[in-house]
Chain A
Amino acid sequence: MKKMKFVVALCMVLMFLVPAAASARDIAPFESTGWLEKNLKNPKLVIVDVRKPEEYGAGHIPGAVNVFYGSWAIKKGELLNELPADEDLRDVISSVGIEPMSWVVVVGKNAAVPDRWDSTRVAFTLKYAGVDNVAVLDGGYDKWVAEKKPVSKDKVVPKKKAYNGKFNKAIVVNKAYTLGALDKALIVDVRAPEFYKGEKKLGFVAKTGRIKGAVNLPAALLFNPDGTYKDKAGIEAAAKPVVGSDLSREIVVYCDTGKVCTGWWLALADLLGYKNVKVYDGSSMEWMKDAMAPSAP
């Protein structure tokens, strides 16, 4: 009888432990080329190369599948970098055999700063779709090649698997939500200071300025001079003076189109452990068009 009770108790403990382990993070949000090389044969690993098919065809990390950036972020109306419809996103994820428990490493270009956000936006989109273990390859394909690591020209034909992950809808917010959150959430503008201060704007943004009350945490602070990500301590040192130490505080990050801000989303939510970070993906492109949406200066 005692043995029976022990087995039941053990089963109950395991029942609680398994989901906890399932949702735990097994890989870091910014993984190194060295780590990836060591894990190339890991059966859980799916390497997603988001460069153009012609770039992928010219050479890629062995085993990497190619799903071009434009499959993950689309134009909706006038807004750039929006999420595809859930069923379309499921199709994309299924087509390369990603499962909720997969370890996904997103590989993009790194030399030009604007290209770096392709990877973070795709990583964020996978998190939105319910994949827990997603990383961006630190330094991207450029660093992999510079380090003379193995490359392949053989196109990988992925094995399709029906994707049944649970979407994390709460990590993306719209304009109405952001308007309602102005008084309670910390709104974080990740653009360069001159954009935050209203001295500059991109052509497709209606007017200069920032969301009223926003603080500035420039995306450039994520990087070392060589284009790799700073380590956790370096990123924490940049973030804490701006967003504080309260890990439960609601934070809404934004930029111009909802792409660049995903870099800080990954860093805050996945690296530093802030538990309530959201992306406003309409960002300045949508906000500044609305005369009723409060802005500064």
Chain B
Amino acid sequence: MGCVFCHKGDAAATDVKAAHDGIVKKPSDNLKLCGMCHKPIAENYGKSLHYTSAGQKHGVAGRFSDAEVKTFDEKVFEKSCRTCHASCGDCHVRSPAVGGISVGLIEGHKYVKKNEGKTCAFCHGGRVYPEYTGEYGGSVDVHYQKGMMCLECHKKEEMHGDGQKYLSKNEVKQRPRCENCHKPGGEAKLTARVSHDKHRGKASCQSCHSSGPYRQCYDCHPTGSKAKAEIFIGRNPRTQKEMTTLRLIPTVRDTFAKAGIKMEHFDKLPNYWDSAVHNIKKRTERTRNCDTCHVDKKDFLTRDRLIPNGSKANEGLVYELKPIPISR
């Protein structure tokens, strides 16, 4: 296939202007074009979260009144969030402009099937990927240490969709779960088996197996965001039952003030959300010593650690773990 098959223009023209007449800069914005050869993928992809960005929209919509939802859709979502999510070429040819910056082509103008350090990290390189590789200043994730890349846990259906429209990634059934590979009861050591049994349903895997601080972003938008490495362990806002690793999602009260959105229901949703952090280790200070949580409550989200002027819902995430000294 020649350039004009995708980009149009006039290959027979002899001057630049005529050659570029009608040119399409990002041809894969039109999924039908890719669907000419990759029909099932393109059809599913049009409904996927990577394409619709519905997760971003619905994640924050709970803070808005009905009128604000409309304003958000028009003034923020379409003009900001949607711009980097995501045509076929955004993942397979060239990085989308994230925050106005594109890091360019992946491998010349080749369509690259997968090269996770680029095809995934172009967009997920702010938090997840550098945590995974240890380059954010922590320890390398044990799965990366074993040479595992994104697609070994996250399957194609997660990337391209399964034909269903979802409002949030939490609805997607094919999301990876630790227990898919690490079957309960299959532990080599009795202490590990007992620990897992005792904590099942009370603490997520990563709340003990996260190896250290991960990136927290503060103060989204109005004054420019700041990042810090911290761990927050608290109540999972989705289940309210178990403890888990929380990540600060930096929507502050005036994040959308410029668009005229006050966020009338700001306090309905917390600022901290459960996060499957990607800095997992087999042994951590929590797995080595129960007192790290049960006595010291190290890294727990406390009222003192909550962001100032944050959502009132944050208080419900503070986990009052009963002291059970079990030194070993």
Contacts and interface: CB of A to CB of B under 8 A. Distances in A.
A66 interface: yes
Nearest to A53: B147
A75 B139 contact: yes
Interface stretch (B58-66, B130-138, B215-223): B130-138
A97 to B, nearest CB: 13
A75 B133 CA distance: 13
Contacts of A104: none
Contacts of A95: 146
Contacts of B145: 67-68, 70-71, 92
B interface, over-half SS: loop
Interface residues of A, number: 19
Interface string B211-231: 010000000000000000000
A10 B304 CA distance: 74
Interface in B128-186: 133-135, 137-140, 144-149
Interface residues of B, number: 20
B147 A70 contact: no
B140 A91 contact: no
A92 B145 CA distance: 9
Contact of A74 (B116, B135, B139): B139
- Of B133, B147, B149, B281, chain A has the most CB atoms within 10 Å of the CB of B147
Nearest to A78: B137
Contact of A71 (B135, B138, B140, B212): B140
A95 B75 CA distance: 53
A60 to B, nearest CB: 11
Nearest to B138: A75
A155 interface: yes
Nearest to B212: A75
Contacts of B117: 52, 54
A92 B148 CA distance: 15
A95 B147 CA distance: 12
Contact of A75 (B116, B137, B146): B137
A interface, over-half SS: helix
B114 to A, nearest CB: 10
Contacts of B148: 53
B52 interface: no
Contacts of A71: 140, 145
B254 to A, nearest CB: 33
Contact of B133 (A52, A57, A155): A52
Contacts of B140: 68, 70-71, 74
Contact of B147 (A74, A92, A155): A155
A82 to B, nearest CB: 10
For the complex of A and B, 10 pairs with smallest distance between CB atoms: A70-B140, A70-B134, A54-B117, A71-B145, A53-B147, A74-B139, A66-B147, A71-B140, A75-B137, A68-B140
Interface of B: 115-117, 133-135, 137-140, 144-149, 212, 281-283
Given A54-B149, A68-B144, 12 more contacts: A54-B115, A54-B116, A68-B140, A70-B134, A70-B140, A71-B140, A74-B134, A75-B134, A75-B137, A75-B212, A87-B283, A91-B282
Interface of A: 52-54, 56-57, 66-68, 70-71, 74-75, 85, 87-88, 91-92, 95, 155
